[in-house]
Structure 1
Amino acid sequence: GNANLFPVVGALELKYGKKVIPEGALAEMTRISHAIAEVVNLTPSTHQPYVGVSAFAHKAGLHASAIKVDPDLYQHMDPALVGNHMRMLVSDMAGRASIELKAKELGVELGGDRELVGRVVASVKERELRGYTYEAADASFELLLRKEVEGRALSYFRIESWRAIVEDRPDGTHANEATVKLWAKGERIVATAEGNGPVNALDRALRVGLERIYPELAQLELTDYKVRILEGKYGTDSTTRVLITTSDGRGEWSTVGVAENVIAASWQSLEDAYTYGLLRAGVAPAE
């Protein structure tokens, strides 16, 4: 078969010292890999050597403690050489070192506050017991982290209520309609929209309600939607976890929601996605 040239080039350049590409081109490997994936409409492999987003990912608390001392203890090279970067995965195994390194990666200042770090660790572990996972939902974790640091959640809008209706029509088709009632910048907004399924209808209704107030949301696009049934032995009464990936054309982020109702879990993830999108766009939170 055809060999993947990215790990081949990486190994030849970094492990064997062979110059096979122009000077300075090695640092563009990760960017080029992702650009090619976009052009051919393929999802990049997260575990691809050198250029995958998880190629330099670390999870266990012991790893984090060692990396805090010296990243080379658990990495075979500096990720920056290929345009990649180290990632800390936050999970129920996270310790103080993991949280501190992840906060640094996200640009959130903890100021060496051990009590604050302890609260974040406890919050992550408590929420993961309920089914949340932050390994693949960095955006939701950053919002949780900022909530602990600032003492309150980031607020761009306040939801009064929402509902989604699925209508089964005699001709076998389905109509999906959602209504969202919310407050943004002191204004009460009621927005209704139809969509291809209840989650898409909720997404459109939220967008209709907020885009006039926050035009930055026009750039957002939901690119992936994953549902995981937790404790499947309970059948349709099981808790559901939803992961949503969103893009603004410059990058992607993932958010998580957990609830007994798949639509409610989707809404949690969707709300985080919009909140993080506004944060990423540099919009100041509402007072």
Structure 2
Amino acid sequence: MPVGSAPPRVLTIAGSDSGGGAGIQADLKAMLANGVHGMSVLTAITAQNSLGVQGAWELPEEQVRAQFHSVVDDIGVDAVKTGMLASEPMVRVVASLLRTLPDDVPIVVDPVSVSKHGDALLAADAMAAVRTEIVPLATVLTPNLTELGPVAGIELETIEDRELAAKLLLDAGAQWVLVKGGHDVGTAAVDVLHGPGVRRSYSAVRADNRHTHGTGCTLASTIASYLAGGYDVPGAVGAAKEYVTGAIAAGFALGDGIGPVDHAWRFRGRSS
């Protein structure tokens, strides 16, 4: 890219993690590391560290709308990533804003419901709104195995249920569904991409590292970054999987709990 030229523009709509490991902070780090200009719309502020979430406060609707229009109306966007949406009213506000974007702007939806530590980040009654309001807008939906059943509206009891859930989400309007396997068992972390006539697996050796805070945010933001750069969805997912695998392997201790992945691992040579 020529010096002085603007990189692709990616907007994250999510909550803030005061500990810097996940949320808006992780999104912006991942975007920078993957060659795009990151911008943000905060939906909520959390008091959060390596031990968990000690508090969360949703921002008023007018503040969310003002942030969105301030960025989009002046700077514009090439891709969007959504994360913590907190409540049913916030889900509906964000959906209304996303519908104002041009049809060719890809939207990566991370249906965040709980933190790495098990703390709730989405009100119990809000997942149905995510399914009806946000899922139909998703270019790529990235649920983990904890989120997959609730966002699809079914109970997951078998491997076959995962396939059914992905199909239901595609039927609900998502263009692609990436079922993340990080919460599964085994020596490999396998993510499965479902799309129009496509079922593709992305496998990586599971790192022996407990410091994985921010993996979901990082993966979704990186997918959005590569989509903004012109990759197709399977290519963007593959590039993002490679990046987040290295970031997890290089994750480091911070505080007394679960540390973050290292977004700068490529610059520090810390992936092995």
TM-score by length of 1: 0.30
Q: Which has the higher helix share?
A: 1
Greater Rg by CA: 1
The structure whose RCO (Cα within 8 Å, separation 6+) is larger is: 2
